Amino acid sequence: MCGIVGYVGVKQAAPILLSGLMRLEYRGYDSAGIAVRNDSAEHIEVVKAKGRLKNLMDMTDSGRAVAGCCGIGHTRWATHGEPSVLNAHPHFSEEKRVVAVHNGIIENYQEIAETLKKKGYVVKSQTDTEVAVLLLDSYYAENAKKGMNSCERALDAITHLMNRVRGSYALGILFGDQPGVIYAARKDSPLIIGQCTAEERGNLIASDVPAVLGLTRNIIYMENYEIARLTQDEIHLYNMDGEEIEKPVVSIQWDETAAEKDGYEHFMMKEIHEQPRAVRDTLSPRIKEDEQGEYIDLSELPWKQEDFAELSRVVIVGCGSAYHVGCAARYVIESLAAIPCEVDLASEFRYRSPIMDEQSLVIIISQSGETADSLAALRLCRERGVKTLAIVNVVGSSIAREADAVIYTWAGPEIAVATTKAFSTQLIVVYLLAIKLAAAKGRIDRSREAELAREMLSLPEKMERVLSDKERVQWFANKMSVCKDVFFVGRGMDYAISMEGSLKLKEISYIHSEAYAAGELKHGTISLIEDGVLVVGIATQPDLFEKVMSNMVEVRSRGAYLFGLTTYGQYAIEDIVNFTVYVPRTEKLFSTSLAIIPLQLLAYYISCAKGLDVDKPRNLAKSVTVE
> Between 337 and 365, whose beta carbon lies closer to ligand AGP?
365
Distance (Å, whole) CA 623 – CA 280: 25
Residue 189 interacts with ligand AGP (CB under 6 A)? Answer: no
Should residue 208 be labelled a site residue for ligand AGP when binding is judged by CB under 6 A? no
96, 270, 588, 622: which one is catalytic?
Answer: 622
CB of 167 to ligand AGP, least distance (A): 19
Stretch that binds ligand AGP, among 62-70, 108-116, 123-131, 315-323 (CB under 6 A): 315-323
Please count the helices (runs of H) and the strands (runs of E) in the chain. Answer: 19, 27
Residue 45 sits at φ, ψ, to 5 deg, of: -90, 125
- Chain centroid offset of residue 625 CA: 9
Helix axes 421-440, 446-457, angle to 10 degrees: 170
570 sits near ligand AGP (criterion: CB under 6 A): no
Strand partners of residue 388: 362
Q: Which of 72, 181, 417, 603 is close enough to bind ligand AGP by CB under 6 A? A: 417
Using the minimum distance from each CB to ligand AGP, give the nearer residue, 28 or 490.
28
Q: Are 606 and 505 in contact (CB under 8 A)?
A: yes
Rounded Cα distance, 330 and 340, in Å: 8
Q: From the CB of residue 254, how many other CB atoms can be counted at a distance below 10 Å? A: 15
CA atoms of 598 and 455, how far apart (whole Å): 20
Q: Which residues pair with 362 in a beta bridge?
A: 315, 388
Please identify, among the stretches 139-147, 234-242, 360-368, 525-533, the one whose residues bind ligand AGP according to the rule CB under 6 A. Answer: 360-368
Catalytic site residue from 2, 69, 196, 327: 2
Min CB(534)–ligand AGP separation in Å: 20
Residue 103 in the binding site for ligand AGP (CB under 6 A): no
Q: Which is nearer to ligand AGP, 508 or 535 (CB)?
A: 508
Query: Which segment (25-33, 131-139, 253-261, 416-424) binds ligand AGP by CB under 6 A?
Result: 416-424
Residue 175 makes CB contacts below 8 A (sequence gap 6+) with: 97, 98, 140, 150, 154, 181, 183
Instruction: Write the binding mask 63 to 92 for ligand AGP: x where contact by CB under 6 A, - elsewhere.
Output: ------------------------------
Are 222 and 236 a contacting pair, CB within 8 Å? no
* Shortest reach from residue 345's CB to ligand AGP, in Å: 10
Termini Cα distance of the chain = 11
Please confirm, yes or no, whether 151 is among the known catalytic residues.
no
Task: Tell whether residue 419 is a contact of ligand AGP (CB under 6 A).
Answer: yes
Give the distance, in angstroms, between the CA of residue 276 and the centroid of all CA atoms in the same chain. 20
Q: Is 624 in the site for ligand AGP (CB under 6 A)?
A: yes
Q: Is 555 in the site for ligand AGP (CB under 6 A)?
A: no
381 assigned to active site = no
Closest residue to ligand AGP, based on beta-carbon distance = 320
Does 321 engage in binding with ligand AGP (CB under 6 A)? Answer: yes
Residue 188 makes contact with ligand AGP by CB under 6 A = no
Q: Is 388 in the site for ligand AGP (CB under 6 A)?
A: no
Q: Taking the complex as a whole, how short is the minimal distance between the CB of residue 408 and ligand AGP, in angstroms?
A: 13
DSSP letters for 168-221 = EEEEEEEETT-TT-EEEEEEBS--EEEE--TTT-EEEEESSGGGGTTT--EEEE
Q: Give the binding range for ligand AGP (CB under 6 A) out of 46-54, 65-73, 231-239, 411-419.
A: 411-419
**C-alpha–C-alpha distance, residues 562 and 533, integer Å:** 8
Verify binding: residue 320, ligand AGP, rule CB under 6 A: yes
Does 601 engage in binding with ligand AGP (CB under 6 A)? no
For residue 249, give the DSSP letter. Answer: P
Cβ closer to ligand AGP: 212 or 319?
319
In whole angstroms, the minimum distance from the beta carbon of 499 to ligand AGP comes to 11
Compute how many residues bind ligand AGP; rule: CB under 6 A: 15
Among 38, 232, 275, 367, binds ligand AGP (CB under 6 A): 367
Among 460, 468, 395, which Cα is nearest to 427's?
A: 460
Determine if 329 is a binding residue for ligand AGP (CB under 6 A): no
507 binding ligand AGP? (CB under 6 A)? yes
CB 375, min distance to ligand AGP, A: 9
93 in contact with ligand AGP (CB under 6 A):
no
Q: Does 591 bind ligand AGP (CB under 6 A)?
A: no
Residues 122/137, Cβ–Cβ less than 8 Å: no
Which part of the chain contacts ligand AGP (CB under 6 A), choosing from 98-106, 276-284, 417-425, 473-481? 417-425
* Stretch in the footprint of ligand AGP (CB under 6 A) among 114-122, 224-232, 364-372, 588-596: 364-372
Rounded to an integer, what distance in angstroms lies between the CA atom of residue 90 and that of residue 172?
Answer: 9
DSSP characters for 482-548? T-SEEEEEESTHHHHHHHHHHHHHHHHH--EEEEEEGGGGGGTGGGG--TT-EEEEEE--GGGHHHH
Question: Is residue 502 involved in binding ligand AGP (CB under 6 A)?
Answer: no
Helices (H), 260-383: 267-273, 275-283, 305-310, 320-337, 346-349, 372-383
- Three-state SS across 381-397? HHHCCCEEEEEECCCCC
Task: Choose one: 81-89, 320-328, 337-345, 381-389; the region binding ligand AGP (CB under 6 A).
Answer: 320-328
In whole angstroms, the minimum distance from the beta carbon of 374 to ligand AGP comes to 5
Cα torsion at 410, 413, 419, 423 (round to 10°)? 0
Across-strand partners of 33?
48, 74
Q: Which residues bind ligand AGP (CB under 6 A)?
A: 319-322, 366-368, 371, 374, 417-419, 507, 623-624
Active site residues: 2, 622
